[in-house]
Amino acid sequence: MDTARPTRTREYREFVMESSRWDGFQFRDDDILICTPAKCGTTWTQMICAQLILRTPQLEQPLTQYSPWLDALFAPKEAVHAQLAAQTHRRFIKTHTPLDGLPWSDSVRYICVGRDPRDMLVSLRHHMANMKPESFPLLAANASGPWSPPPHPPADFREWFRAWIGSSGTYSEGTATSDVLHYVQSFWRYRHLPNVLMVHYGDLKADREGEMRRIARFLDIDIPEPEWPALVAAAGFENMKANATQLAPQVTDDVWRDPGQFFHKGESGQWRELLTEDDLALYRRVMDERLEPDLAHWLEHGRLG
């Protein structure tokens, strides 16, 4: 573990986000940053924070309005900063920027969410297929420099997986949101700090209420016991899928072919039907080379194991 505080040493830029959009942002002392690679439980954690902060199972606005994705290029940076400055509730902000690209404050709470990398990639494939190319001009218009659309993934999932895992953990330009190894590693080394919490997708599935209570303790939020059942139910996968037009990210920007498909299955282990022993041997080799054993185990199994 690092004994020093995190520092912002790198800039990230992708077709959908830029870490430079944090420049000039003014933190409040009780801000919450929900920090995740893509398809690792971002929206789920945003919903949990919404339940804990707003204390209502029924949101009056789309979730993305309560919890903007500050890095994203769907709106001008100044507009997103102004939106957050106008909020009167405790702010919980989405980001896909690794910790070495984020501003640091001892008074801000950072929740990093991880997931088995194999599950993440299966989910990301469905995610990219569901995204409307018609939304790309909006991203290009708000980019700070030259912009390119994302490359089409190979039709063969195994080919995509092998190319992806071969570059994971080293960070190459344009992979911040999909490089689970690099992303989670940037937070793992600071997990001992009192304002950093590591949360795992698998633990949320195994014990949603227990993890919600753990997050509430981390955020110093006290929920009266009679309120817990409704809040826990509202943060369940089936409820979120049923209310996808309100809860899917960026629904206000008409990004998805089908908002309901953003919440595709929410399952773990789908990779078992897609990857061969050779694929998994390559995966194991990369995990062993690039991650310390405790982090590799946590990333695959979570805290509850």
Tokens of 171: 């960070």
92-151 pLDDT, tens digit per residue, is 999 999 999 999 999 999 999 999 999 888 877 766 666 777 888 889 999 999 998 877
Strand ranges for 45-195 from DSSP E: 92-95, 109-114
pLDDT at 261 over 80: no
Tokens of 232: 């826990």
pLDDT at 260 over 70: no
How would DSSP label each residue in 159-172? Answer: HHHHHHHHHTTT--
Residue 91's pLDDT is 98
265-288 pLDDT, tens digit per residue, is 556 778 888 889 999 999 999 999
Q: Which sequence positions are flagged as catalytic? A: 96
Tokens of 235: 């943060």
Which helix (H) or strand (E) element contains residue 33?
A: strand 32-35
Mean pLDDT of the chain: 88
Cβ contacts of residue 171 below 8 Å, gap of 6+?
98, 179, 182
Closest CA to 302 of 180, 203, 210, 185: 203
What are the extents of the domains in the chain?
A: 19-301
How would DSSP label each residue in 136-152? Answer: HHHHHHH-SS---PPPP
CATH topology classification for 19-301: Rossmann fold (3.40.50)
Query: Among 59-73, 241-255, 279-293, which stretch is predicted with the lowest mean pLDDT?
Result: 241-255
Beta bridge partners of 18: 13
- How many CB atoms are located within 10 Å of the residue 268 CB? 18
How would DSSP label each residue in 177-243? Answer: TT-HHHHHHHHHTTTTSTTEEEEEHHHHHH-HHHHHHHHHHHTT----GGGHHHHHHHTSHHHHHHT
Residue 176's pLDDT is 63
Q: What is the DSSP letter of 263?
A: S
Closest CA to 74 of 122, 169, 143: 143
Higher pLDDT, 262 or 93: 93
